[in-house]
Each structure stands twice: as structure tokens, then as C-alpha cells.
């Protein structure tokens, strides 16, 4: 197939140029689905646009085009000669012979309609140039299939002969077309629905009704050909509409009460009018004479029958009737609401009446019970009322008639009924002999008479609380009488009495007893007490009052200390009775006052005793030392250490030096050293000053052993003393480590529940914590190490830590020490 209709030729060069004009071949093949398509050859697939083409039907590529030489001279192309008519007719005949099928031979259903492409393509033209098949073969592929569509539909539940869809609602027959009569628009010739569509979709067609309504509206604009008058239209309002209008106007006017007194000037008429509310404007009527007469126009016609006064009056009557109807409806609604309100009021009053009747009944029963109690309390009654029976009556009142019981005046009722019975009950009572007598019955009356809402506890509550008044007026006089006859040194019975009543008696009454009755008696007895002559220790009749009185006894402690100090002026430590008298007061006095008392009255006596002590290794008397050590638990450790440093260790070290200078037996010295050290408790030995003294003794013995060169030396003495020194220091180190471990454990236990960061994680953190507690600077020394261990400054002391042990720098070597000793040295 030649493609010359698409390309032109460039003169002598023969270069084909692409033409973009639309030719007849384009129109014929554009709408031919069966036109012959160009198949790509193997050479075209390999070389693409550079492939060589020998056939004229092949379309040249754009890549083969050569550039045009515009410098060449102009060459003209001959257009040829026009053919004659005979030649053109012969060409048409040859073209007709080439048609494969005539138009009349094609079935009607395969003839395509006029294509809406805007062109003039007609079926009568020549056949598609590129097509080799006709419309006869259209759809012939169906006979080569195996009915896969039908099978898929049957798998999805389709039944032949029924409609599609879940409920078989689809149509079975295809949509039918109905031929229109003429060339009018859609619907111009009536309904175009077919009988089949009416059967499948039975929908009422309302087009006729719409047409009638349209014609009816259109007729209103046309002039009546008969010239008749139009019928007048009347507007009616029902009673229900008027009622609804009245309700709406009432709702709208309700929030506008503030506008009811507004002055309004109306200038819409011929004359100015003044209204005093907007409501008057809304009720204004159009009076006929208000509007001026309008001049008649050129085309206007005068009214033949006009009665504006009559129309105004009729309208006024209509408005008045409407207002009367609205007012009647409102009055009716008001009366209905009043009926509902009164019915609710009747119901409430009935409930109140029943409640009042019940209250009256309960009050009458309560009054009968009270009158019965008064009758039985008369002197000549055969069945007198007892306190237990009265308590049961009050319990009944509280359980069954609680509201009436709370409303009544319990104070007056108790005064009239309970007080006489209570006096009779406690008439022969002795509190010191039978201290628990009446506690149960008084506890029962407390629950019955005490005011639960009473929060204060003072004498002002007597007028509002029946139980407090009962205890103050009936029970309290017996207590006053018994306290007046009571001896303070016989405190056991009185303390037991108050202990048994402490949970029953009101707090303010108990405070009055302790402050106004008990304390003055004790104070008077303390003033008359003499520690030198009285055989009964004072703590035996003062200390039992501590649980009840506690801080109330503080004013008694100062005179007691003064009298004890006067008694100790001539005391000697050999008398152990002083310790027996003072020991019970250690936990009673405050720590500061107790330490001051010991330093002033006991420590000087013990120092004098130590001064009298003679240290003799050959014949030692230990009585004076025992007298001092026996006070270890009474005086503080610092006071005892001070006594030993001042009065004991100087003499002891002096005796040791003199003994070592006379060729002694070192075994005896070792035993003597260990014996004296065993006389002290661990708490005293742990003190840094005491350890320093014993370490000083060890240093003296070591110097004595090492300095005796050339003289006689006891065999093994040097080794024994060195072993003793090593053993003692190891014991001190172990004891200090154990103390530090206990202290760390105690700190860990106290820190349970606190933040985890506050508990030291290692020994270094513990040292840092202790340094912060005692305001001591603890920091590393930069660039300084000892045996690979970092050096630290603890105050003015240089230390290092090795496996949980603190080493302090001495004169020649590093000495292990405890944390407490380190703190003492740093201070």
C-alpha cells in the first residue's frame, strides 16, 4: 500500500516530507475497525528507524530525512495534465469493481448509522480501504467460545429465565424502543412508554395531572372570553388558629415588658398621634378618613359601590371577636392550670396532715411514758422507778421516737427524772474502795444523754448537754469529798479510780480533777518531803501519776532536784543509796537538766574518789574504782572519760613507766595491762581518748623493749610485746569496723521508704555523708596516690580508702582507723 498521499517529494533529492493534511484515505480508514495494520519486520525491530524499506507501502521514518540544501537553484515540478472525462469515468468503473460487497447486500442491522463526527462520510461511498471483512461477519466469534459467561452467572446463582439480582428483580426482556410519530421533541406526542415498561415498572405517571395544573394556572392570566366577573375569594380562620395566634403573641410579648412604657409618636397619618406603648400601635385600626383621597388616574375607574365606614366597622367587629376568643382561651387555660395547681396543693397538704397526725400520735405516746415515769417517782408509789428501768425507757424513746426525742429538751427531762435516781444510786458510794462502781450505768447514760453535736468541752456546755450536767452536779461532789480526805503518798487507789473512769468522764471534768484537786495535793506534799528523813522514795508516789498528768508534773521537778542536790552535799560515792534514789528520775527529767544535775552534784564526788585511788601493781585496792565505774550508766560517757583522763590515766601511765624502768617481768606487765583494760566497758573503750591512752601504754612498752640494748632482756619479751600490740590494735580495728557496719545498717534501715539516692552505696559515699553532716571538707588530692590508691583530705587529715578501711597518715606509716575516730581527729 502506497503512503504517498501522506508524504511529498522534495524535488531532485527525492526526500520524502511528512504531510499533516487530512486526505480521503484518512477519512476512509479512520472509521474502519478492520483496516489492515502494518506489521513490523525483524529488520525494523533490530534497527528501528534506520532500517531500509523497499516497499512503497511502508511509511518512511523521520530519522531518514536529510537536511534540505537551500543554496541550490529553484527547481519546478510539473503538475501534469488534467485527464479527460472518459478517463475519469473509466477510473470510477474500476473503483466500483474493487468493492467487495454492495450496500444493498449488507444486512440492515449491521448498517452503521450516520456518524456524529462532523464529516460528510456516507455509507454509499467506497468501502474501507484497509478492511478485508464486512459487517456480515460481525459477532461471528461467538461460535468459537465455550459459554464461559453463562457458566459464571450460574455459579453466582443465576437461574435461566429469571431476572438478575438478589431477589430476581431485574428485567427479563430487553428494553424496547417506541418509534416517535413525527420529528417533535420528547413527549410532544404523548407518553412514549411501551407496554413492556409499564409491566416492569408500574409507576403512576403524573404528567397529565401536572399538565392540568399548568393549564389551570395559565388560565388565570388569560381574559375570560365570556366577560364574567371573578368569584370573590374568602379567607377563613378557625378557632384553633386564633388560639394558637394568641399563645404565640403572648409568648412574644412576655419578655418585652420593659417596652410597655415607651412613648411612641406616630406621624404616618394626616395628624400626629402619640402612643404610650408599642402594643397600642399593634392594635391600631385603619380608619377610613385617615388616608387622603388619592386622585384618579387616567385609566382608573371609580368604584361603583364603596362603603369604607362599613368595612372599617366590620373589620373592627372581627378584631374584637378575635380578641374575645383569645381572651377566653387564655382564661380557660388559666383555670385549667389553677385546677392542676390546687390538686398538687391538696396532695401536699394531705401528706403534711398525715405527717402531723403521726407526730401527734408519737408525742402523745412519749407524753404517756414521761407521765408514767413521774407517777412512779412519787414517794408513796408501790412500784418505784429504778435507774435501770429509766435507762430502758430512754432507750425506747431513742429507738422508736428518735425525732421526738431529739426535739425534746433532754436537759430538763433528765433533771426531772434521772437526777433524783442518780443521787439515790451513788448515795453510799466510796470511790477509793470500789472504784468501778457505776461505770457501766454511767456509760449507758452517756450514750443516751450526751449531745453528739457538742464539739467543745467546757463548763459552758452544761446548759446544752444533759450528761455533762449530770456528771458535774451528781458525780463530781463525791469525787471532791474523797480527794479532800485522800493522802498523796497512798496514790494507788486514787490512780486506779481515775483510770477506770477516764473513758466515761468528760475531758474537761477530768482536767478539772487533775488540775484543781490532785496537783495541789501533790505540790503540797513535795514541799513537805525531806529526802534525808523520809523512808518512802518520792518516785514511788509521783511516778504513778505520769500516764495521767504527764506534763502537768513539770512544776514539781525543780523543787525535787533542789532537795536532792541539798541531800547530796555530804554524800560519798561509797553510799549506793543515792544511785537508787536518782536512777528512777533519769528518764523523767529532760536530758539537759539531768546532765546538768549529774555534772554539778555527782561528777565532782567521783573525781575526788579517783584522786584517792592508789595504783599499786603488787597490792591493788579496787573499791574506789568500782564506786566510780558503777555510775557509768548514770552519767554520760563524755563525763566519765573526762574523769578518767584527768584523775586515772596520768597515775596509771606513771606507774607503768616506773615499773618498766626496773627490769620487770613483761608477762606480768601484759597481764596487768589486759586486766585494767577489761575493767572498762566496750562503750568506754571505743572512745578515741581512751584508745589513745591504751595505745600510749603500748607505745611505752614497745619503746622500753626496744631501748634496753646491752642490758638483760627477758627472753621473748620483745616478741610478746609486739604480739600484744598487734593483737590489741587488730581488736580495736575489728571493733571499729563492726561499729561502722552496724551504723551503716541502721542508716539503711532508717532510710527505708526514703529516696534511693540518699542511702550511701559504698564506704566512700558513707564518709562523704558523714563529712557533710559534720561540716568537714572531704575532697580528693589531685595527682597524689599511695600504692595506687587515691588520697583524700578529710579536714586537715590526709587519708586513703582500701577495701572499706580508712588509713590515716601517721608519723612514719599509714594507720587504719575508724570513721568516728576520723571525725574526732578532723574536729
> Are the beta carbons of 743 and 736 closer than 8 angstroms?
no
pLDDT at position 331, please? 92
pLDDT at 119: 41
Q: Is 10 helix (H, G, I), strand (E, B) or coil?
A: strand
**Could you report the per-residue pLDDT of 475-525, keeping only the tens digit for each?**
888 889 898 888 888 888 898 889 889 888 888 889 999 999 999 999 999
Number of Cβ within 10 Å of residue 714's Cβ equals 14
> Which stretches of the chain score pLDDT less than 50?
1-12, 55-65, 79-82, 84-86, 89, 92, 94-136, 138-139, 288-292, 296, 298, 453-460, 709-712, 753-757
What's CA 460's distance to the chain center, in Å? Answer: 46
Q: Which residues pair with 799 in a beta bridge?
A: 792, 808
| Rounded Cα gap, residues 367 and 407, in angstroms | 13
**Cβ count near 366 (within 10 Å):** 19
Residues 383-409: pLDDT tens digits? 777 777 887 887 777 778 777 766 766
- Diameter of the chain measured on Cα atoms: 179
> What is the Cβ-side half-sphere exposure of residue 196, based on CA atoms within 13 angstroms?
8
Decide: 553 and 521 in contact? Cβ < 8 Å: no
For the stretch 602-624, pLDDT in tens is 999 999 988 888 888 888 888 88
Q: How far apart are CA 544 and CA 540, in angstroms?
A: 7
β-sheet bridge partners, residue 802: 805
Main-chain dihedrals φ then ψ at residue 586, nearest 5 degrees: -65, -45
Beta strands across the sheet bearing 797-802: 778-786, 789-794, 797-802, 805-809, 814-817
Asked if 542 and 488 count as a contact pair (C-beta separation under 8 A), the reply is no
Cα 488 to chain centroid, rounded? 61
Report how far apart, in Å, the C-alpha atoms of 220 and of each of 213, 223, 228 are: 11, 8, 13
The pLDDT, as a whole number, for residue 349 is: 95
Using DSSP's 3-state secondary structure scheme, residue 588 falls into coil
pTM, full prediction: 0.48
**Phi and psi for 797 in degrees, rounded to 5?**
-105, 140
Tell me what pLDDT residue 176 has: 76
In angstroms, the first-to-last Cα distance of the chain is 122
Residue with cell 627477758: 714
What confidence score (pLDDT) does residue 204 get? 56
In the prediction, which pLDDT does 123 show?
Answer: 41
Amino acid at each position: 500500500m502506497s503512503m504517498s498521499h501522506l508524504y511529498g517529494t522534495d524535488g531532485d533529492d527525492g526526500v520524502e516530507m511528512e504531510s499533516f493534511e487530512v486526505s480521503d484515505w484518512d477519512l476512509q480508514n479512520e472509521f474502519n475497525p478492520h483496516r489492515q495494520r502494518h506489521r513490523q519486520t525483524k529488520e525494523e525491530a533490530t534497527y528501528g528507524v534506520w532500517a531500509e524499506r523497499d516497499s512503497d507501502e511502508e511509511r518512511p521514518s523521520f530519522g531518514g530525512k536529510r537536511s534540505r540544501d537551500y543554496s541550490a537553484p529553484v527547481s519546478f515540478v510539473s503538475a501534469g495534465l488534467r485527464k479527460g472525462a472518459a478517463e475519469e469515468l473509466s477510473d470510477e468503473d474500476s473503483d466500483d469493481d474493487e468493492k467487495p460487497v454492495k450496500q444493498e447486500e449488507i444486512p440492515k442491522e449491521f448498517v452503521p448509522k450516520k456518524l456524529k463526527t462532523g464529516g460528510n462520510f456516507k455509507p454509499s461511498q467506497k468501502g474501507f480501504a484497509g478492511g478485508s471483512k464486512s459487517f456480515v461477519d460481525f459477532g461471528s466469534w461467538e461460535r468459537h467460545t465455550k459459554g464461559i459467561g453463562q457458566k459464571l452467572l450460574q455459579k453466582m446463582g443465576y437461574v435461566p429465565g429469571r431476572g438478575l439480582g438478589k431477589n430476581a428483580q431485574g428485567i427479563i426482556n430487553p428494553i424496547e424502543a417506541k418509534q416517535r410519530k413525527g420529528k417533535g421533541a420528547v413527549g410532544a406526542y404523548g407518553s412514549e412508554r411501551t407496554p413492556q415498561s409499564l409491566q416492569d415498572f408500574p409507576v403512576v405517571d403524573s404528567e397529565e395531572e401536572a399538565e392540568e395544573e399548568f393549564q389551570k394556572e395559565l388560565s388565570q392570566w388569560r381574559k375570560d372570553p365570556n366577560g364574567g366577573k371573578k368569584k370573590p375569594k374568602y379567607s377563613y380562620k378557625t378557632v384553633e388558629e386564633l388560639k394558637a395566634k394568641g399563645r404565640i403573641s403572648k409568648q412574644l410579648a412576655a419578655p418585652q415588658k420593659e417596652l410597655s412604657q415607651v412613648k411612641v409618636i406616630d406621624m404616618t397619618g394626616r395628624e400626629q398621634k402619640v402612643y404610650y406603648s408599642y402594643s397600642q400601635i399593634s392594635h391600631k385600626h385603619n380608619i377610613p378618613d385617615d388616608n387622603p383621597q388619592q386622585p384618579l388616574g387616567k385609566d382608573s375607574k371609580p368604584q361603583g359601590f364603596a362603603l369604607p365606614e362599613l368595612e372599617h366597622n366590620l373589620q373592627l367587629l372581627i378584631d374584637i371577636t378575635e380578641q374575645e376568643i383569645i381572651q377566653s382561651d387564655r382564661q380557660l387555660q388559666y383555670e385549667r392550670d389553677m385546677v392542676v395547681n390546687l390538686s398538687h396543693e391538696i396532695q401536699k397538704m394531705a401528706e403534711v396532715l398525715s405527717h402531723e397526725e403521726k407526730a401527734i400520735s408519737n408525742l402523745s405516746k412519749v407524753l404517756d411514758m414521761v407521765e408514767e415515769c413521774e407517777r412512779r417517782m412519787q414517794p408513796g408509789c408501790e412500784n418505784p422507778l429504778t435507774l435501770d428501768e429509766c435507762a430502758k425507757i430512754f432507750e425506747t424513746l431513742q429507738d422508736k421516737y428518735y425525732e421526738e426525742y431529739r426535739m425534746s429538751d433532754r436537759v430538763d427531762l433528765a433533771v426531772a427524772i434521772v437526777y433524783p435516781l442518780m443521787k439515790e444510786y451513788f448515795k453510799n458510794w466510796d470511790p477509793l474502795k470500789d472504784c468501778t462502781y457505776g461505770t457501766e450505768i454511767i456509760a449507758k447514760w452517756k450514750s443516751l444523754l450526751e449531745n453528739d453535736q457538742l464539739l467543745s468541752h467546757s463548763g459552758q456546755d452544761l446548759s446544752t448537754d444533759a450528761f455533762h450536767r449530770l456528771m458535774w452536779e451528781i458525780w463530781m461532789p463525791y469525787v471532791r469529798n474523797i480527794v479532800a480526805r485522800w493522802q498523796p503518798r497512798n496514790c494507788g487507789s486514787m490512780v486506779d479510780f481515775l483510770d477506770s473512769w477516764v473513758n466515761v468522764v468528760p475531758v474537761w471534768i477530768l482536767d478539772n480533777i487533775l488540775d484543781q484537786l490532785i496537783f495541789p495535793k501533790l505540790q503540797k506534799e513535795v514541799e513537805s518531803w525531806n529526802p534525808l528523813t523520809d523512808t518512802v522514795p518520792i518516785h514511788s508516789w509521783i511516778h504513778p501519776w505520769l500516764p495521767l498528768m504527764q506534763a502537768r508534773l513539770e512544776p514539781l521537778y525543780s523543787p525535787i532536784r533542789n532537795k536532792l542536790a541539798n541531800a547530796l552535799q555530804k554524800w560519798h560515792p561509797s553510799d549506793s543509796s543515792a544511785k537508787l534514789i536518782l536512777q528512777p528520775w533519769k528518764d523523767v527529767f529532760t536530758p539537759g537538766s539531768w546532765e546538768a544535775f549529774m555534772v554539778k552534784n555527782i561528777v565532782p564526788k567521783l573525781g575526788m574518789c579517783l584522786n584517792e585511788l592508789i595504783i599499786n601493781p603488787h597490792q591493788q585496792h579496787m573499791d574506789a574504782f568500782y564506786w566510780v565505774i558503777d555510775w557509768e550508766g548514770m552519767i554520760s560517757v563524755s563525763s566519765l572519760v573526762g574523769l578518767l583522763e584527768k584523775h586515772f590515766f596520768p597515775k596509771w601511765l606513771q606507774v607503768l613507766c616506773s615499773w618498766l624502768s626496773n627490769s620487770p617481768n613483761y608477762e606480768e606487765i601484759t597481764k596487768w595491762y589486759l586486766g585494767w583494760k577489761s575493767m572498762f566497758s566496750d562503750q568506754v573503750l571505743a572512745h578515741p581518748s581512751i584508745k589513745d591512752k591504751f595505745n600510749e601504754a603500748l607505745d611505752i612498752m614497745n619503746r622500753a623493749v626496744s631501748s634496753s640494748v646491752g642490758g638483760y632482756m627477758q627472753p621473748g619479751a620483745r616478741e610478746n610485746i609486739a604480739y600484744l600490740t598487734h593483737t590489741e590494735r587488730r581488736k580495736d580495728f575489728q571493733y571499729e569496723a563492726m561499729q561502722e557496719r552496724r551504723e551503716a545498717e541502721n542508716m539503711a534501715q532508717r532510710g527505708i521508704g526514703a529516696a534511693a539516692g540518699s542511702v550511701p552505696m559504698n564506704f566512700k559515699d558513707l564518709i562523704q555523708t558523714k563529712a557533710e553532716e559534720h561540716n568537714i571538707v572531704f575532697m580528693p588530692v589531685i595527682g597524689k596516690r599511695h600504692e595506687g590508691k587515691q588520697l583524700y583530705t578529710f579536714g586537715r587529715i590526709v587519708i586513703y580508702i582500701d577495701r572499706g578501711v580508712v588509713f590515716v597518715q601517721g608519723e612514719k606509716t599509714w594507720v587504719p582507723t575508724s570513721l568516728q575516730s576520723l571525725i574526732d581527729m578532723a574536729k
